[in-house]
């Protein structure tokens, strides 16, 4: 079991690093490709938007493919996309490579979660999500700094090449260690029918709102530390490291909470995240205290994510891959909305100081939606299975 999960975690680490690393080397990309930093930033924006649209489309087209085969095929496309990025002669080709990798991102993550859920067994969906989410945590703590270091000391192409090489290793480990299972017997049309259920849409909507709140603050975390809190810039890497470590701890705790009761976990943690956003607003002007509040924000954020993913599985257990892919798209949409709102607040009269309040408003909206779903569920008999298992089981 540890080796099987390790193969998935390495693969997700590669995917997460490729998604996030351009944000740490925008200066290098801008200088070498002769584009503005804002234009270079489109590499991140285009990736998120492609995830929103491409994930459900790729999932619908690959519903009947055996999961192990699909994991290997998606990783192969991912390797190809990163090779294109590493060899790109200009910005246009680099963007094409980014779009190619983003198109398979959502489906790959969803299949990883469902595969992990099958391996750990029913009733441990939160732990399965947390185990795979660890790959994203490691990408935040190790992958992004690695990409920035390689870009500064070698070339911005180096991180893409290293990620492609590691993903090739991950393909070998998946082939060796991840068990093969029969192809799902359901069709894409059958899986799509789960979106007729209000609770499925409600859960996806809560994910959009909560993730928008997360990214409102995440995007402008550094300006909040330095501009509002007056923290010296040389302290920022240490705070970001602490933030990354907090994300790992929060992720592990969130998986355990979700396994004990996913509805209760999502409800309590969404309100906890709202409270922490307000705490960040309160302590932001006080330097080290504001930094500590951001570490608590990291804990609360990454504790909530496994619950949101596990909840959509409970509501659409008979269509796990498509529902999870849709929820991954919801995270991408939330990231785009949150970063947009954070920018508006930063440029407003209230300034960066108001960013945590905007984050709190969005997460509170998500928490209210979750509360409404719980109350509706109490009035409606539960008829759906809640285990993270596939129809053929």
CA-nearest of 164, 167, 161, 129 to 309 is 129
| Least confident piece of the model among 83-97, 249-263, 351-365 | 249-263
| Alpha carbon distance, N-terminus to C-terminus of the chain | 19
Q: Per-residue DSSP letters for 198-261?
A: HHHHHHHHHHHHHHHHHHHHHHTHHHIIIIIT---GGGHHHHHHHHHHHHHHHHHHHHHHHHH-
pTM: 0.76
For residue range 6-31, list pLDDT tens digits in order.
Answer: 899 999 999 989 987 887 787 788 88
Residue ranges of alpha helices (H) inside 62-124 are 67-87, 91-120
Q: Per-residue DSSP letters for 108-156?
A: HHHHHHHHHHHHH-TT-HHHHHHHHHHHHHHIIIIIHHHHHHHHHHT-T
Angle at CA 343, nearest 5°, toward 14 and 51? 35
For residue range 85-110, list pLDDT tens digits in order.
Answer: 999 999 999 999 999 999 999 899 88
Q: Rounded to whole angstroms, how far apart are CA atoms 105 and 100?
A: 9
Q: Would you say 203 and 386 are in contact if contact means Cβ atoms under 8 Å apart?
A: no
Q: Would you say 201 and 316 are in contact if contact means Cβ atoms under 8 Å apart?
A: no
Is 1's pLDDT higher than 90? no
b/e per residue, 325-351, with b = 16+ CB within 10 A? bbbbbbbbbbbbbbbebbeebbeeeee
Q: Rounded to whole angstroms, how far apart are CA atoms 16 and 2?
A: 20
Q: What is the pLDDT of residue 388?
A: 40
* Residue 30 three-state SS: helix
Residue with tokens 């090739």: 168
């Amino acid at each position: 079991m540890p080796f099987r999960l390790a193969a998935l975690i390495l693969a997700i680490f590669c995917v997460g690093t490729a998604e996030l690393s351009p944000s740490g080397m925008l200066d290098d990309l801008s200088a070498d490709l002769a584009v503005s930093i804002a234009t270079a930033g489109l590499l991140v924006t285009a990736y998120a938007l492609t995830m929103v649209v491409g994930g459900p489309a790729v999932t619908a087209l690959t519903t009947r493919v055996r999961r192990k085969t699909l994991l290997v095929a998606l990783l192969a496309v991912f390797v190809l996309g990163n090779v294109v990025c590493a060899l790109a002669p200009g910005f246009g080709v680099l963007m094409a490579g980014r779009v190619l990798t983003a198109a398979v991102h959502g489906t790959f993550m969803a299949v990883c979660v469902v595969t992990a859920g099958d391996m750990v067994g029913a009733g441990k969906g939160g732990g399965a999500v947390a185990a795979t989410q660890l790959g994203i945590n490691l990408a935040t703590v190790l992958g992004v700094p690695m990409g920035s270091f390689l870009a500064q000391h070698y070339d911005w192409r180096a991180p893409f090449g290293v990620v492609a090489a590691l993903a090739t290793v991950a393909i070998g480990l998946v082939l060796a260690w991840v068990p093969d299972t029969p192809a799902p017997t359901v069709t894409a049309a059958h899986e799509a029918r789960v979106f007729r259920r209000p609770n499925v849409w409600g859960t996806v909507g809560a994910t959009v709102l909560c993730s928008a709140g997360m990214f409102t603050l995440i995007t402008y975390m550094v300006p909040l530390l330095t501009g509002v809190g007056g923290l010296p810039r040389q302290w920022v890497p240490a705070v970001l490291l602490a933030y990354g470590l907090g994300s790992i701890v929060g992720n592990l705790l969130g998986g355990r909470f979700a396994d004990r009761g996913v509805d209760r976990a999502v409800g309590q943690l969404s309100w906890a995240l709202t409270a922490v956003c307000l705490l960040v607003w309160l302590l932001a002007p006080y330097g080290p205290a504001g930094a500590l509040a951001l570490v608590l924000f990291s804990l609360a954020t990454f504790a909530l994510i496994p619950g949101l993913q596990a909840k959509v599985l409970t509501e659409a257990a008979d269509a796990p891959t498509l529902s999870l892919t849709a929820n991954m798209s919801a995270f991408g949409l939330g990231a785009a909305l949150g970063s947009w709102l954070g920018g508006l607040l930063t440029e407003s009269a209230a300034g960066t100081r108001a960013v945590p309040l905007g984050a709190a408003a969005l997460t509170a909206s998500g928490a209210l939606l979750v509360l409404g779903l719980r109350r509706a569920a109490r009035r409606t008999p539960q008829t759906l299975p809640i285990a993270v298992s596939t129809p053929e089981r």
